[in-house]
Amino acid sequence: MENIVLHVDDVYKSFGGLHALSDIDLQIAEGKTHAIIGPNGAGKSTLLNVCIGRLKPDSGAVVFDGQILTGKKPYEINQLGVARVFQTPEIFPDLTVRENVIIPALAKRDGAFAVDAWRGMARENDLRDEAEAAVTDVGLEDKLGHEAGSLSRGDKRRLELAMCLVQKPRLLLLDEPTAGMSRLDTNRTIDLLKRIKARGMTKVIIEHDMHVVFSLADKVTVMAQGRIIAEGTPDEVRGDPVVQEAYLGGGHA
Partner 1 sequence: MDRSTPRNDLILMVVFTAAVLTMPFWLAPIGAGYPDLLQKFAIFGIFAVGFNILFGLTGYLSFGHAAFLGVGSYTAVWSFKLLSMNILPAMILAIAIAGLFSLAIGYVSLRRTGIYFSILTLAFAQMSYNLAYSVLTPITNGETGLRVVRGDPHVIDRMFGMVEGESLPTPDLFGLRTIGWEGFYICAVALIVAFFIALRIFRSPFGLALRGIKSNQVRMSYTGFNTRPHTLAAFVISGMYAGLAGALLAITDPLAGAERMQWTASGEVVLMTILGGVGTLIGPILGAAIIKYFENIFSSFNEYTLEQTFSFLPDPLREGVVSVASLFVGEGWHLTLGLLFMLVVIFLPGGIMEGFRRLWRAITGRSAARRAEKLQPAE
List of residues contacting partner 1 (CB under 8 A): 52, 73-75, 78-79, 83-84, 86, 90-96, 98-99, 102-104, 106-108, 110-124, 145-147, 150-152, 154-155, 163, 167, 182
Instruction: Select 90 or 245, whichever has its Cβ closest to partner 1.
Output: 90
Structural contact between residues 108 and 167, judged by C-beta atoms closer than 8 angstroms: yes
Min dist. Cβ of residue 46 to partner 1 (A): 16
Instruction: Select 54 or 197, whichever has its Cβ closest to partner 1.
Output: 54
Min dist. Cβ of residue 135 to partner 1 (A): 14
Nearest to 47 by CA among 62, 30, 68: 62
Q: Which amino acid is at 158?
A: R
Instruction: Select 191 or 245, whichever has its Cβ closest to partner 1.
Output: 191
Min dist. Cβ of residue 111 to partner 1 (A): 8
Helices (H), the chain: 44-51, 74-80, 97-110, 125-137, 153-165, 183-198, 210-216, 234-238, 241-247
Structural contact between residues 77 and 53, judged by C-beta atoms closer than 8 angstroms: yes
What whole-number distance in Å separates Cα of residue 165 and Cα of residue 138?
A: 9
Min dist. Cβ of residue 126 to partner 1 (A): 12
Instruction: Select 160 or 231, whichever has its Cβ closest to partner 1.
Output: 160
Nearest to 178 by CA among 168, 186, 187, 167: 186
